[in-house]
Amino acid sequence: MVERLDVAASHFDKFKGWMMNRSLQKGDGLLIPNCRAIHCCFMLLPIDVLFLSKQGEIVHVVSRMKPWTFSKVVFDGDSVLECYPGTVDEHGLSVGSRLTISL
């Protein structure tokens, strides 16, 4: 599903995310730990967004989140996985699916 995973470790990395990223490709992912809401300000294309529990269970999905939009606050979420648009549909991901993240 995600072959190239980056982790937003610092506060700045979490804020910046994929803003102004022109090189986003299928298979790219960005894990944002300790995150319950995101924004897509300055994004150049939509992204798929998975909110994950501490156990890696998907608790909320936003498919093709558009630039200049804001997610709701997902109180059950512990982290966010941002993916290339279409990843959710291609892999049949939904609330309740469990992901394993290997760094």
The neighbouring-strand residues paired with 31 are: 7, 81
What pTM was estimated for this model as a whole? 0.93
pLDDT of residue 5: 94
The angle subtended at Cα 54 by Cα 8 and Cα 28, nearest 5°, is 40
Tell me, letter by letter, the H, E, C secondary structure of the chain. Answer: CCCEEEECCCHHHHHHCCCCCCCCCCCEEEEEECCCCCECCCCCCCEEEEEECCCCEEEEEEEEECCCCECCCCCCCCEEEEECCCHHHHHCCCCCCECCCCC
Q: Which domains does the chain have, with CATH numbers?
A: 4-91 (2.60.120.1140)
Q: What is the torsional sign of CA 23, 68, 36, 92?
A: negative
How confident is the prediction along the chain (103 residues), in pLDDT tens digits per residue?
899 999 998 999 998 889 888 888 999 999 999 999 999 999 999 999 999 999 999 999 999 999 999 999 999 999 999 999 999 999 999 999 999 887 7
